[in-house]
Amino acid sequence: MKKIFVLLLISGLVSPAFCQDDLMDLLEDDAPKNERVTSTFKSTRLINGHTTETRTQGVLEFIIGHRFGRLNEGGENLWGLDFAQIRLGLEYGVSDNLNIGIGRSGVDKTFDLFAKYKFLRQSTSVPVSAALFVSGARRADSAFENLLEGQGIPFEGKYRNAYTYQLLIARKITSALSLQVVPTIIHRNYVATSTEPNDLLALGLGGRYKITNRVTINAEYIPTLNQENDNFKNAIAIGIDLETGGHVFQLHLTNAQRLQERGFIGETTGNFFDGDIHFGFNVSRVFNVAVKQNIRR
């Protein structure tokens, strides 16, 4: 018995010392199998619309959306830069999947509230990420009441409200390319003419292509499906995202000047191909107000 033990020891000693790769082979099986896909988009906004991205629990984001006037206004108005519409927003990660936000846009003095719930995350076994988005917007301008009264329409407070429901579905196809489709319903309590449906249907289409780790090109097109008023155009936008740590700068060109779903999906009047294009940007800054302890010690 002792002899065998000695033999065993010797065999251990003389066994080749260059078998680190064999050891590596023994480790290969341990790779995590079902990995989540992250960073489908750099921001919670594609350009005008939302993405499936959510801020994680305890993260507060301050987001400023800015759309200048039209490029084809010419040099006198500095190609639209003399005028701007702005939306100020605050958004918060209630959980990693649930975000809520408030915002206020200059157009029609509109306040909005939204909730976005990401119920599906793309992973090795799940092909897409998906989120539900619900928002309510209320135009608070006094001019609206006067406008209706002037037309002999008895004003009701509910006419100020519109509601948006979206299903956002996105897939990160490669590390560079992500695409998204967004079936949308916007319910407007008041519309100006009978050619504008109270329940407006639209299908948002968009994507991003990553040029470098910190720069992406984005495009977004939101055709409406039952809009009969020719004055209203489908929102088109192209842009770039520049990420610098805690900030993402989004610069874009779009025919939509309004910054709330009801506005840019349902009330865009610019014809992109006639040069009714607005330069705009979104700037966001995140704050970790209630840091979740990801690190378990």
Partner 1 sequence: MLIPLISYSQKFKSDSSYVRFFSEAPLENIEAVNSKAVSIIDLSNGNFVFSIPVNQFHFDKSLMEEHFNENYLETEKYPKAIFKGSFKPSSLVDGAQTVTASGDFNIHGQTRPVNIEGTLTKSDNQVLVKATFTIKIVEYKIKIPKAVFYNIAEEVEVTVYFEYKEL
Which among 32-40, 63-71, 223-231, 262-270 is the span making contact with partner 1, rule CB under 8 A? 32-40
CB-nearer residue toward partner 1: 158 or 297: 297
Which among 133-141, 185-193, 241-249, 271-279 is the span making contact with partner 1, rule CB under 8 A? 241-249
32 binds partner 1 (CB under 8 A): yes
17 binds partner 1 (CB under 8 A): yes
26 binds partner 1 (CB under 8 A): yes
- Contact, 44 vs 54, CB < 8 A? yes
Distance in Å, CB of 15 to partner 1, minimum: 6
Nearest residue to 158 via CA among 150, 166, 170, 148:
148
What string of H, E and C letters represents the secondary structure of 2-20? HHHHHHHHHHHHHCCCCCH
23 binds partner 1 (CB under 8 A): yes
By DSSP bridging, strand 59-70 and strand 278-288 are antiparallel
**In angstroms, rounded to a whole number, what is the distance separating the alpha carbons of residues 177 and 13?**
53
296 binds partner 1 (CB under 8 A): yes
**In angstroms, rounded to a whole number, what is the distance separating the alpha carbons of residues 207 and 220?**
7
134 binds partner 1 (CB under 8 A): no
| Residue labelled with tokens 């006037």 | 69
**In angstroms, rounded to a whole number, what is the distance separating the alpha carbons of residues 170 and 51?**
8
CB-nearer residue toward partner 1: 36 or 82: 36
Distance in Å, CB of 43 to partner 1, minimum: 11
**Left if phi > 0, otherwise alpha if psi is -120 to 50, otherwise beta: which for 186?**
beta
Provide the 3-class DSSP secondary structure of residue 160. helix
| Interface pattern 153-192 for partner 1 (x via CB under 8 A) | ----------------------x-----------------
User: Which residues have C-beta within 8 Å of that of residue 248, sequence separation ≥ 6?
Assistant: 42, 43, 241, 242, 282, 283, 284
Which among 30-38, 64-72, 145-153, 253-261 is the span making contact with partner 1, rule CB under 8 A? 30-38
Which among 6-14, 43-51, 148-156, 189-197 is the span making contact with partner 1, rule CB under 8 A? 6-14
Q: Please report, as a single letter, which amino acid is at residue 237.
A: A
Which among 27-35, 138-146, 148-156, 187-195 is the span making contact with partner 1, rule CB under 8 A? 27-35
Size of the site for partner 1 (CB under 8 A): 41
- Residue 102 CA, chain-centre distance (Å), reads 15
24 binds partner 1 (CB under 8 A): yes
Residues that bind partner 1 (CB under 8 A): 7-8, 11-13, 15-17, 19-21, 23-24, 26-27, 30-32, 35, 38-39, 56, 59, 96, 175, 213-214, 243-247, 286, 288, 291-297
